[in-house]
Homo-oligomer: A and B are copies of this chain.
Amino acid sequence: MRLRAAPRDTRFYDLLTAAAENIAAAMTLLDGFVQADGADREPLAREMRRLEHVGDDHTHALIELIDVTFVTPFDREDIYRLAVRLDDVVDAVDEVVDLAVLYSCTQFPPGVAEQVELLKKAAELTAEAMPKLRTPKDLVPYWQQISEVENAADQVHRRLLSLLFSGEYEPLTVMKLKDIVDGLEEAADAFEHAADVMHTIAVKES
């Protein structure tokens, strides 16, 4: 049964904002993780897994809300895509943390801290942007800023790849670290994909 949304139905905005805030929490945790001593990382990895499950719950709640709502505030397919893109961010960083533990990577090249700093910035921008879906013209500075952050992340990622293949590292170490820096770059890309969906929504609303 599909229910007509009340005119001021806030549940879509609330759930999307909660999903974005969960991502911001994941990035703060990631920051602690890459700075932690090897011994302290296991509980941080478990907490990251918990946040990944929280993200899944938000995604499922959004999908169920789309399904039971007769008139959604924007196209169903766009809400679905946005939920999936937000989920992709958390999945990517959860996998990075997981691999770092599994591979016993206790030290990262310096560029990794820069990647994480940019991901924190992207997460803050996204969490602030989400409630503005109600008034899409307020999102203009967000698209500009998220694009700048994504370009900066891309540059850092490229420098890291150059470093990894410079001959300074053993092949097996290159493979492990490449999985990690590629995973962080994937998270940066996922933020931009979420911003693209929000752009599509804004164009349709205008």
Contact = CB atoms under 8 A, between A and B. Distances in A.
A43 interface: no
A94 to B, nearest CB: 12
A39 interface: no
Contacts of A167: 172
Within the oligomer, what is the number of copies of this chain?
3
A176 B68 CA distance: 46
Interface residues of A, number: 23
A161 B102 contact: yes
Interface in A69-83: 77
A94 B203 CA distance: 28
A88 to B, nearest CB: 13
Interface in A42-87: 63-64, 67-68, 77
A108 interface: no
Contacts of A200: 63, 67
Interface of A: 63-64, 67-68, 77, 98-99, 102-103, 158, 161-162, 165, 167, 171-172, 174-176, 178, 200, 203-204
B158 A102 contact: yes
A121 to B, nearest CB: 23
B175 A165 contact: yes
Nearest to A77: B77
A90 to B, nearest CB: 16
Contacts of A165: 103, 172, 175-176
A3 B139 CA distance: 24
A167 B175 CA distance: 13
Contacts of A162: 102
Contact of A175 (B67, B158, B174): B174
A102 B156 CA distance: 12
A172 B171 contact: yes
A165 B99 CA distance: 11
Contact of A67 (B103, B161, B174, B203): B203
